[in-house]
Amino acid sequence: MREEIEERIRTLEEKGVVIIDPRQTYIGPEVDLDRIYSGSVLYPGSRLTGPRTLVGSRAQIGTEGPGIIHNSIIGAHGEVGSGFLSDATLLPRAKAGANSHYRAGTLLEEYASTAHCVGLKQSILMYSVTLGSLINFCDVLISGGRSRKEHTEVGSGFIHFNFTPWGKNGDKATPSLVGNVTEGVFLDQQRIFLGGQSGMVGPSTVGFGAMTVAGQVIRHDVPGSTMHAESVRNMDRNWASSDVVFPEKRFRQIYDKNAEFLAQLYALREWYLQVRLERSRVQKDSELELVLKGAVETIETCMKERLDRYNSLAAEWSQPSIGEAVLEGAGGCRPMDIFTDWKPELEYDQWIREMDRPQVQMLREWIETVAEDFRGILRNHTKK
């Protein structure tokens, strides 16, 4: 077995992969060596497993300690300090800090980053979003900001509470939107700041430009351009999860939050399929194309998770479910018809910022139409 490992390592070294200490590096037999690109660096303690795994050119694994990459995609110039990544996707120049723990449904876009000891699952950090240390995010999409300096940030010691104990088994129909997709993709919205040593009870929404004060638990939606603080009243009362009855109004609110989260995920998927992937083909960047296809897979994983979690809750409380056919989505115009110049020489963020106003406006109308069409499909597929 050791000879087989050494042979795979030699093959990678011959193609230009930098392996600091081959004796402390493991490459699983199922790993497609063509997906480990020249110029990438594997530090001691690196372990690559899973057929989906991809390490892009000049990406670095294990810069701060052992790094385990399982069925995960690390784009060009991406970095994993240390930790365990399973079924996650990092776009070019994204960074996972030391002791990261990323699970299925995790997507970091360009320049998004997390500091040490961050756990992510079924969560999407859009362009340049930054998370501090000691954070646990499950079932969150977060966007906002205009540049690498003016970016959305979450302070250290933050938790998104994604489990509700009501009913026989509780539920996770609790996704939270911090910013959104349909406006956030254009990199022209105000940044959001979530103060540290805090928590947020899902499902919640936070608008662009909002700032939440450190040291609280956010239990209500936060409008845009608002400074928000709240406290919890003291309470002792008899309680049993089986005695809880969901008011119709409360369930409708949960449905609306889940439906909107799904609509935003669908809009993001179409943005990747019809805009980002089209541009990567114009750029003739096959490596980037593979990474973006991986991002689409991750978004679709998030969509299925949301549907499953909502329907599980709906079944327990005899409420309307959402048919799985909704995941097939709706068609729409092809943005490719809009563009005459994809400016392939520019980085993605530069290209977005340099679009002329008519093109931006057409794209805004297109992506909002995509989301609205999907909302309509949701309504048609929601039934007893």
User: Does the model's pTM come out above 0.85?
Assistant: yes
> Is residue 341 pLDDT above 90, yes or no?
no
Q: What is the DSSP letter of 45?
A: T
**C-alpha to C-alpha distance for 124 and 142, rounded to whole angstroms:** 6
Q: What percent of the chain has pLDDT over 70?
A: 94
Position 306: which residue type?
A: R
48: left (phi over 0), alpha (psi -120 to 50) or beta: beta
Give CA separation, 101 vs 68, 86, 118, 192, in Å: 10, 8, 6, 24
Q: How far apart are CA 21 and CA 222, in angstroms?
A: 49
Alpha-carbon distance 110 to 351, whole Å? 13
Chain-wide mean pLDDT for the chain? 92
Over 80: is that where the pLDDT of 244 sits? no
Give the number of other Cβ atoms within 10 Å of residue 37's Cβ: 21
pLDDT given for residue 105 in this prediction:
97
Q: Does residue 195 register a pLDDT over 80?
A: yes
Of 124, 105, 122, 104, which Cα lies nearest the Cα of 114? 124
Give the span between the Cα atoms of 196 and 348, in whole angstroms.
Answer: 30
Q: Does 143 or 359 have the greater pLDDT score?
A: 143
pLDDT digits (tens, 9 = 90+) for 296-320: 999 999 999 999 888 888 887 777 7
Q: Residue 241 pLDDT more than 70? A: no
What is the structure's pLDDT at 331? Answer: 54
Whether 325 shows a pLDDT value over 90: the answer reads no
Under a CB-based contact definition with an 8 Å cutoff, are residues 158 and 194 in contact? yes
Mean local confidence (pLDDT), 207-215: 98
Query: Residue 384 pLDDT > 60, yes or no?
Result: no
Sequence-ordered alpha helix ranges (H) in 159-201 = 181-184
Q: Are 306 and 175 in contact (CB under 8 A)?
A: yes
| Mean pLDDT (whole number) for 351-373 | 91
Provide the percentage of residues in the chain whose pLDDT is more than 90.
Answer: 74
